[in-house]
A and B are shown apart, each in its own frame.
Chain A
């Protein structure tokens, strides 16, 4: 990614930080006018962010899915847009107060640690289908993040009400619960498709890829099972208890740990011949037989 693109993304990061400060100021210190400034900063952040992604694609001539920072950027934008749509089109109030900090952290990570994504990025350039897999899986994470947000807000509101207090800024209990449920459903859909695509890519991947022992893949399983359990209990058994919200929180925590703490692991053999993957991807020479921890 060029310096210019990084600067533009950095500006949007600052705008998200500004939005987070204003909106958290609104939440904790009750400065009503800060909400307006927070929302303006957030909207400006989204616009600058989209420009940054477009700039990257324009300069490099590559799809936004060909670079990890760009992929994550797209995911952060998707998260914000879906969250804002939920707030605008439903009765869930003040969701914006919580969207901005998550967007800030989501974008901060790849910008702070670009090295972690370098090899992953080179893989994405070589295997476009891998990029689609990563993007769709991360879209699943957008749903999970919104679901986590709904669950966390539900528990905060529940705690306030149980203590006989009233918190005007938090969404109503059942609205937060609905956000958690529907977002989990959407996230689960994309996550499952993303995992399926990853498996198909693995099947056709060149050389020896240590998929079977990749911690990233292993840790995706409890996330999938956690959300599957939650959706079954809430959707099929119509259970509404607060404990179910903890299942979402734990499952999402595992997903975040997997994203942040577990490195990508590629072990690909020297191969100068052209190979045809299961998805019909033409692959060319890749690096020597080393385990790369990006």
Chain B
């Protein structure tokens, strides 16, 4: 049995190619059924996301013709055009690839958690159509385990990687809960709407929108069930707010150090978190000198994002160690699959020989009582088992070696067994 992977991803193919090879969710059950019934695969699973389209399959032959033919037919593509974008992996390489995918180190955004959910969904889809049996089930379960370990034992998923989400993450460093905090949004543009959206997702419910034109402020405030004020009322709003995000087109500072000092006096030193995403800046950087006031501008946010990205990249080696550990366990199991039929065939051969010998000596043993005859059978069986014990142990060991296939083939030849006999007994 072989494990095969054929696919493409963001590293090997541009989006124009990726979108042509994507599998719609509704098509997948039929695709999986056809892969098994018409294209000679024993098991199959499809992992299709915005950044990758991959088919995982278990097959008796380590050939990709079936998968390729299906891809070409299903997507009505000339394989010659997409050939340079495709990658193919077999057995250990295929499992390694899936483990890396599930752990997030093969993703466009390193460590993103969405991929683990997508791997689980691919397995569930395959299971629901009866396409996941022994191999696909095991390799995907191992991959999910790798993904969980990677996220719990390393920092691969830590830290946000966009400016807007990094701002929310920073707010979480100052306030452990956001649901009882108030945000003041200065400006009512698209960027502000996006920031407000992230804050709502993080649990914040109280909003004040301040804008030069009050109508625009009211429009945005109504979307988040907040209040609208004009820029003239900023000082009072500063006293009440805990998080301030500023993004206006004003040529001068909208928030001065003096205004912040006055607000902090009213706040009795409660922390105030300000984010300035305007260029030119809306908030006087001198407010950093005020106690318990934390100002982050675009440069700061970008450096936080860069630090998060670098931290995640630094975790890749640790994740790879987990991948290698789990791969060892998986391969031990996977390789023993190839030894199983051979062991059965050997046992069967011994049993057949035993039967043949008894038949051959039937005439000379006819005087034996039933009990004595059973004793002779038992002696022969015990002898055969003892003789085979050590070779069988060695076969299991050989199956887990790098060149296991070659060695098992030698054993097969030695005992005059062919592969069809293996399959017959399995």
Is B313 in contact with chain A by the CB < 8 A criterion?
Answer: no
Among A156-164, A247-255, A274-282, the one that faces the other chain is A156-164
Question: Would A166 and B170 count as touching, CB distance under 8 A?
Answer: yes
Which residues in window 162-179 of A have CB below 8 A to B?
162, 164-168, 170-175
State in angstroms the CA–CA spacing of A165 and B303 once bound together.
Answer: 8
Is B413 in contact with chain A by the CB < 8 A criterion?
Answer: no
State in angstroms the CA–CA spacing of A174 and B308 once bound together.
Answer: 23
Question: Would B296 and A164 count as touching, CB distance under 8 A?
Answer: yes
* Min C-beta distance of B298 to chain A, whole Å: 11
* Min C-beta distance of A142 to chain B, whole Å: 23
Among B71-79, B171-179, B335-343, B417-425, the one that faces the other chain is B171-179
* Min C-beta distance of B163 to chain A, whole Å: 13
Is B153 in contact with chain A by the CB < 8 A criterion?
Answer: yes
* Min C-beta distance of A25 to chain B, whole Å: 13
Is B152 in contact with chain A by the CB < 8 A criterion?
Answer: yes
Is A242 in contact with chain B by the CB < 8 A criterion?
Answer: yes
Which residues in window 125-173 of A have CB below 8 A to B?
157-158, 160-162, 164-168, 170-173
Is B11 in contact with chain A by the CB < 8 A criterion?
Answer: no
State in angstroms the CA–CA spacing of A91 and B174 once bound together.
Answer: 12
Is B155 in contact with chain A by the CB < 8 A criterion?
Answer: yes
* Min C-beta distance of B105 to chain A, whole Å: 15
* Min C-beta distance of B282 to chain A, whole Å: 17
CB neighbours of A161 from chain B (8 A) = 170, 173-174, 294
Is A89 in contact with chain B by the CB < 8 A criterion?
Answer: no
Asked if A240 meets B173 with Cβ closer than 8 Å, knowing A162-B294, A165-B307, the reply is no
Q: Mark A211-223, 1 if CB is under 8 A from B, else 0.
A: 0000000000000
Question: Would B153 and A240 count as touching, CB distance under 8 A?
Answer: no
CB neighbours of A30 from chain B (8 A) = 155, 311, 314-315
CB neighbours of B303 from chain A (8 A) = 164
Question: Would B176 and A175 count as touching, CB distance under 8 A?
Answer: yes
State in angstroms the CA–CA spacing of A158 and B294 once bound together.
Answer: 8
| Nearest A residue to B305, CB-CB | A166
Question: Would B268 and A174 count as touching, CB distance under 8 A?
Answer: no
Asked if A91 meets B177 with Cβ closer than 8 Å, knowing A32-B155, A162-B288, A240-B292, the reply is yes
Is B169 in contact with chain A by the CB < 8 A criterion?
Answer: yes
* Min C-beta distance of B285 to chain A, whole Å: 11
Is B304 in contact with chain A by the CB < 8 A criterion?
Answer: yes
Question: Would A239 and B175 count as touching, CB distance under 8 A?
Answer: no
Which residues in window 68-101 of A have CB below 8 A to B?
91-93
Is A122 in contact with chain B by the CB < 8 A criterion?
Answer: no
Q: Mark A165-200, 1 if CB is under 8 A from B, else 0.
A: 111101111110000000000000000000000000
Is A273 in contact with chain B by the CB < 8 A criterion?
Answer: no
* Min C-beta distance of A241 to chain B, whole Å: 4
CB neighbours of B269 from chain A (8 A) = 239-242
Tell which of B176, B177, B300 has the most Cβ of chain A within 10 Å.
B176
State in angstroms the CA–CA spacing of A161 and B291 once bound together.
Answer: 12
State in angstroms the CA–CA spacing of A32 and B153 once bound together.
Answer: 5
Asked if A242 meets B292 with Cβ closer than 8 Å, knowing A157-B173, A164-B304, A175-B176, the reply is yes
Question: Would B154 and A166 count as touching, CB distance under 8 A?
Answer: no
* Min C-beta distance of A176 to chain B, whole Å: 9
State in angstroms the CA–CA spacing of A164 and B166 once bound together.
Answer: 12
State in angstroms the CA–CA spacing of A33 and B319 once bound together.
Answer: 11
Question: Would B155 and A173 count as touching, CB distance under 8 A?
Answer: no
Question: Would B155 and A171 count as touching, CB distance under 8 A?
Answer: no
Is B66 in contact with chain A by the CB < 8 A criterion?
Answer: no
State in angstroms the CA–CA spacing of A241 and B155 once bound together.
Answer: 33
Is A288 in contact with chain B by the CB < 8 A criterion?
Answer: no
CB neighbours of B318 from chain A (8 A) = 32
State in angstroms the CA–CA spacing of A30 and B294 once bound together.
Answer: 25
CB neighbours of A242 from chain B (8 A) = 269, 291-292
CB neighbours of A243 from chain B (8 A) = 291
State in angstroms the CA–CA spacing of A91 and B180 once bound together.
Answer: 14
Question: Would B304 and A241 count as touching, CB distance under 8 A?
Answer: no
Question: Would A241 and B292 count as touching, CB distance under 8 A?
Answer: yes
CB neighbours of B291 from chain A (8 A) = 241-243
Question: Would A167 and B173 count as touching, CB distance under 8 A?
Answer: yes
CB neighbours of B177 from chain A (8 A) = 91
* Min C-beta distance of A248 to chain B, whole Å: 15
Question: Would B154 and A32 count as touching, CB distance under 8 A?
Answer: yes
Is B407 in contact with chain A by the CB < 8 A criterion?
Answer: no
* Min C-beta distance of B397 to chain A, whole Å: 31
CB neighbours of A173 from chain B (8 A) = 173-175, 271
* Min C-beta distance of B238 to chain A, whole Å: 16
Question: Would B152 and A32 count as touching, CB distance under 8 A?
Answer: yes
CB neighbours of A168 from chain B (8 A) = 155, 158-159
CB neighbours of B304 from chain A (8 A) = 164-166
Q: Mark B283-311, 1 if CB is under 8 A from A, else 0.
A: 00000100110101000100110011001
State in angstroms the CA–CA spacing of A164 and B301 once bound together.
Answer: 8
Is B20 in contact with chain A by the CB < 8 A criterion?
Answer: no
Question: Would B300 and A164 count as touching, CB distance under 8 A?
Answer: yes
Is A238 in contact with chain B by the CB < 8 A criterion?
Answer: yes
* Min C-beta distance of A173 to chain B, whole Å: 5
State in angstroms the CA–CA spacing of A30 and B173 once bound together.
Answer: 18
Asked if A174 meets B175 with Cβ closer than 8 Å, knowing A161-B294, A166-B169, A242-B292, the reply is yes
Q: From A36, A166, A237, give the contact of B268 (CB < 8 A).
A: A237
Question: Would A240 and B176 count as touching, CB distance under 8 A?
Answer: no
CB neighbours of B34 from chain A (8 A) = none
CB neighbours of B268 from chain A (8 A) = 237-240
Question: Would A92 and B176 count as touching, CB distance under 8 A?
Answer: yes
Which residues in window 137-170 of B have CB below 8 A to A?
152-155, 158-159, 166, 169-170
Q: Knowing that A32-B318, A168-B158, A241-B292 touch, tell me 4 more A-B residue pairs with CB under 8 angstroms.
A: A32-B152, A32-B155, A33-B154, A162-B294
Show 9 residue pairs from A and B whose CB-CB distance is below 8 angstroms, ordered by the A residue.
A30-B155, A33-B154, A161-B170, A164-B304, A165-B304, A168-B159, A172-B174, A173-B173, A173-B271
- Closest 5 pairs between A and B when the two form their complex, measured CB to CB: A172-B176, A240-B269, A241-B269, A164-B300, A175-B176
